[in-house]
Amino acid sequence: MADLNYIELRRLQQEEKSSAALVMVPTDFYGQVDAMLKAKKDTLGKSHTIMDIREYENTAKIVREIHSMRQQKIILRALRLGTHNDTGGMTVEEHHLYDQVCAILEDSKSRFESNFSEKTVSGAAQSGPNGGTSSLKKVRFLKEVAAFTGLDNNVYGPFKPGEIGELPESETSALLKARIAEQPGG
């Protein structure tokens, strides 16, 4: 890319508008933009001509628009592809943004997907808060019980009348008190 100037920025702006993909820019594009804007600001400080003021304002407007379009494309790419590897055509700053968005999306997806994971326990020991196994008790269900989330955030059930399940002690005591379940053989 040639030295960054107003004409080159306008060309980039038009290319970004007409392309769904990111337009190739140097990896130090925003550094070049900063230098260009600082130079224009210095010129503005020395001469207060209307022409210089308009040129600075128009340049800043174009840079903001290019930045906004590129951000949208980066976020959409992260939504569609969701990998940290697809960073072609991005500047260093944009690569960092892409990685952050991907990480946020991955975290959100894993939290969402955890709603659908079946952590039903029936007959298997379960990890307690300290990584050990909590004591499990067997109960025979007297009534139909829909799937429920226990105090340990695991999902138990559903259970049918007569079915025997093995649950943490905290869950079995509540079921026994409510006469929804009984101790087997009792």
Segment 12-32, tens digit of pLDDT: 999 999 999 899 998 889 999
**What mean pLDDT is predicted for residues 127-139?**
63
Domain 118-186, second-level architecture: 3-Layer(aba) Sandwich (3.40)
Instruction: Please determine, looking at this structure, whether the domain spanning 6-113 carries the CATH number 1.20.58.1030.
Output: yes
- Provide the pLDDT confidence category of residue 8 given band limits of 50, 70 and 90: very high
- Does residue 99 have a pLDDT over 50? yes
Q: Which long-range contacts (CB under 8 A, 24 or more apart) does 93-97 make?
A: 93/30, 94/22, 94/70, 97/71
Cβ count near 90 (within 10 Å): 22
Report residue 71's pLDDT band, with 50, 70 and 90 as the boundaries.
very high
CA–CA dist 176, 162 (Å, integer): 14
pLDDT of residue 122: 44
**Does residue 174 surpass a pLDDT of 60?**
yes
Q: How confident is the model at residue 124 (pLDDT cuts 50, 70, 90)?
A: very low
Q: Is the pTM of this model over 0.85?
A: no
pLDDT confidence of residue 110: 80
> Which segments of the chain belong to CATH 1.20.58.1030?
6-113
Q: Could you tell me where in the chain the CATH 3.40.5.50 domains are found?
A: 118-186
Other C-beta atoms lying within 10 Å of the C-beta of residue 107: 10
pLDDT band of residue 60 (cuts 50, 70, 90) is very high
**CB within 8 Å of 3: residues ≥ 6 apart:** none
